[in-house]
Structure 1
Amino acid sequence: MKTLPLRRALVGAVALGAAVTLVSCSTTAGGGPAPSDAPAGEAGPRVAVSYDGGILVLDGDTLDTVGDFDSEPFTRLNPAGDGRHVLVTMSEGFQVLDTGAGSTEPAELTDTVFEADTPGHVVRHGGKTILYADGTSDTTIFDTAELADGDLPDVETIAGDEAHHGVSVLLEDGTFLTTVGNADGRSGIVVRDADGAEIASSDQCPGVHGEGTAADEVVVFGCEDGALVYKDGEITKLAAPDQPYGRMGNAYVSETSPIVVGDYKNDPDAEGYLLDAVTLIDTAALTSTVVPLPDGAEYTFRDVVRGPDDLAYILGTDGAIHVLDPASGEITDTWPVIAAWEGPADWQDPHPAIVVAGDVAYVTEPSAKSLHAVDLTTGEVRASAELDVTPNEIAPARG
């Protein structure tokens, strides 16, 4: 495998981020009472929801709109990791949205941008936020807490080798993992220590995509024929039961669970984006198992999350949240929430999505222009709101 050069530079975010001025349609603070344990005047949780040409910020308890901002036609929303800010993928890079969660400040789409050529994945781990630029394969890293402090964070830039749709992970001891690929495809990962020396590498991961850090900082990357697991300085390839194609493309993790839940596809010629099984990767035992879902419970990459008790919550095309116990592979509960739905024609098209903040799941229902808050301890719908726009991407901020 070709060696990736490691060049690190400390650069201020002011230098990185070109100022982008966007017009705010509304920055009205409020939207319902703060939780009883929040100081007077301090906002509770918030939810950011993208739509065609804009971003809403909603009160996480009442689902009232507290901010409405112009944006590009399609934007992705990524929690920054500090419980307050969201990173919006714009054409210039990652723009900072301040939801105001847990503060007395109104929501604001700031003019701070972490510049990136074709911004891609955002990873949060160990107090760091890691940004990946597909157009250069460069990785930008900053201390997550510095956003919450209101400061412009200093960043560390790790130069990539060849541009590709990739992702990077930084462990607490400085170990750096990043994907390897080029314009023709992606083949694996390389791992380096804090000084840049190579620890391990693998080119046995065709189409590498998706990552997750499980308990004890074991990292999993998805492949078109299985997965790579980085553990204790070594990389292990876990082959999918279906060969030559058994793809895991997204990993849904809890950092207190050794089991990774991955999406799973075994037909490379299948049309559309709906899937009907998940893969369970046990990073302690180094095993993988494919679990079919109940009939009518197909899903897309937007429809799986981890929540209370390290369980997985899958929003199916039947409109229900299916509770999966990763340890047993069993569906333990099913909660109807929205109307049945069909898969999107394109992955960017609005279709139902689920995200989690604590014990609450937020579920979009684009066909009804609605958003629902669901108690994941009971399955009860706590609140619902009909929006004036069609929701697409969603990101929570707990405050």
Structure 2
Amino acid sequence: MASATAIALFLSLSTSAAHAEEVTAWRLFISDHADPKVTVIDAVDGGKLDTFKIKGPASLHRSESGRTVFAVQGSAGVVTGIASGISFEDHGEHGDIDVEAPKLAGLEITGKKPSHFVEHDGDFAAFFDGEGVARIISEKVVLEGKSDFREVKTDAPQHGVAVAYGSHVLLSEPNREKPDELPVGIRVADEAGAPIGGIHACPDLHGEASSGNILAFACATGLLVVSHGDGTPAIRHLPYADSLPDGKTTTLIGGRGLQYFLGNYGADKVVLIDPTLEGDAFRLISLPTRRVHFAVDPVRAKYAYVFTEDGQLHQLDVVKGEIASSLKLTDPYSMDGHWSEPRPRVAVAGDRIVVTDPLKGVLHLVDATSFEKTGDIAVEGKPFNIVSVGGSGQTHEGE
């Protein structure tokens, strides 16, 4: 009997495996520079899946899980949640993928001048500059179509930031003497916003990112590096190296697969930062012209990509700290003029690098392995900000 049961179980598992199908799905979410909309493109076949009307031009943020995308509309005073329609379930030896139609999640968080939007461990903190208030919500709640957020207040309106960090919240400290200037530090608070301890100095605070289990904030004097401490977050200051020229980082992104940060440093340079080092933590890389945008490769961990105003996309080897390849993609996009003018943005979707070309109304596709252009996708309007969601997994017949 036991033998027969084992055989039946084996046949059942074999049948299940035989009916499993490997599926790859990638979606591009693109906001327009002028029109209040988000266009969803199938990155595999180039077809348009949907267009969502929103309240204003938006910056876009995808969640770590890829299940949600958020459109932060500063001028319209609202953050809109979008369900990507792609989700994964880890089964150890393999992962399952579920693909549905993208849709508006039913979430709108309103307030004055939403700006920085930060995720940490499935909790999102939207900071509203015009109020000095962070509104925090979990991805689980967003996907349930609810708007059950909690508020944490700072002392004054500011161009600030908040991070939900376990049972704590990290909050930017406003410049009390010059309220219109950037924050001066980070304060640790409990979940209700009550301060714990003093202020961690970070003059001209602007820019934050996570890489692995480390969070960093960019300051005029270096970085504040945050890790899990004994009961409360552990925060230390990593000063800029004496060998660096005058300057500062104001935009940070975190490495995936390798623990590092990539930041701007002046108009025509980027800096690689190893947060685990005290000395030699910063490596400066000069660019041929001024930087427009940059992104890390979550699949090929040793690479990041920098787009410069001469229309070139550069493949950056973050291990060697040098530009490995360059590819001309667009007409020049000068960095002279207003900071918010339509200029290209970069995203990575599996084996493709995607670059928006807002003045031409197209997305340029680059093969991430050969670093050669492979095609274009036309998008109505001025495609501007972009995020990608997707991957590969198994689907099972009948599920």
TM over 0.5: yes
Aligned residue number for residue 79 of structure 1: 62
In the alignment, structure 1 residue 168 sits paired with structure 2 residue 153: no
Match of 2:317 among 325, 331, 353: 325
- What CA distance in whole angstroms lies between the structure 2 residues aligned with 1:285 and 1:104? 41
Match of 1:305 among 277, 296, 299: 296
Aligned residue number for residue 347 of structure 1: 339
Aligned residue number for residue 198 of structure 1: 196
Shift of 1:73: 4.8
Aligned residue number for residue 248 of structure 2: 247
TM-score (norm 1): 0.76
Instruction: Give the aligned residue type for 1:47.
Output: L
Shift of 1:373: 3.0
Structure 1's unaligned 5+ residue stretches are 1-35, 266-274
Match of 2:379 among 379, 384, 387: 387
- What CA distance in whole angstroms lies between the structure 1 residues aligned with 2:384 and 2:108? 22
Instruction: Give the aligned residue type for 1:121.
Output: H
- What CA distance in whole angstroms lies between the structure 2 residues aligned with 1:116 and 1:211? 22
Superposition CA RMSD, Å: 2.9
SS at 1:257 equivalent: coil
Shift of 1:104: 5.6
In the alignment, structure 1 residue 230 sits paired with structure 2 residue 222: no
Aligned residue number for residue 15 of structure 2: none
In the alignment, structure 1 residue 116 sits paired with structure 2 residue 108: no
Shift of 1:111: 4.6
Instruction: Give the aligned residue type for 1:262.
Output: G
**CA distance 1:85–1:388, change in 2 (3 Å):** same
Q: Is the 8 A contact 2:81 2:142 kept in 1?
A: no
Q: Is the 8 A contact 1:130 1:168 kept in 2?
A: yes
Segment drifting more, 362-371 vs 331-340: 331-340
Match of 1:133 among 125, 128, 131: 128
- What CA distance in whole angstroms lies between the structure 2 residues aligned with 1:64 and 1:85? 20
SS at 1:170 equivalent: strand
**CA distance 1:260–1:373, change in 2 (3 Å):** same
Structure having the larger proportion of residues in strand: 2
- What CA distance in whole angstroms lies between the structure 1 residues aligned with 2:236 and 2:28? 37
**CA distance 1:294–1:163, change in 2 (3 Å):** closer
SS at 2:343 equivalent: coil
TM-score (norm 2): 0.76
Aligned residue number for residue 13 of structure 2: none
Shift of 1:286: 2.9
Instruction: Give the aligned residue type for 1:227.
Output: L
**Residues 366-377 of structure 1: pairs in structure 2 closer than 5 A:** 366-377=358-369
Shift of 1:213: 1.7
Instruction: Give the aligned residue type for 2:211.
Output: A
**CA distance 1:193–1:281, change in 2 (3 Å):** farther
CA deviation digits over 1:142-190, x for unaligned, max 9?
Answer: 2224434x4426433222221111112233x434322111423221111
Q: Is the 8 A contact 1:225 1:244 kept in 2?
A: no
Q: Is the 8 A contact 1:320 1:336 kept in 2?
A: yes
In the alignment, structure 1 residue 95 sits paired with structure 2 residue 80: yes
- What CA distance in whole angstroms lies between the structure 2 residues aligned with 1:303 and 1:250? 10
What is the identity percentage for the equivalent residue pairs of Structure 1 and Structure 2? Answer: 24
- What CA distance in whole angstroms lies between the structure 1 residues aligned with 2:243 and 2:53? 45
- What CA distance in whole angstroms lies between the structure 1 residues aligned with 2:56 and 2:170? 32
Structure 2's unaligned 5+ residue stretches are 1-20, 88-97, 392-399
Larger Rg, first or second structure (1 or 2): 2
Shift of 1:214: 2.4
- What CA distance in whole angstroms lies between the structure 2 residues aligned with 1:105 and 1:349? 34
Aligned residue number for residue 3 of structure 2: none
Q: Is the 8 A contact 2:131 2:156 kept in 1?
A: yes
Instruction: Give the aligned residue type for 2:210.
Output: T
Match of 2:138 among 124, 140, 143: 143
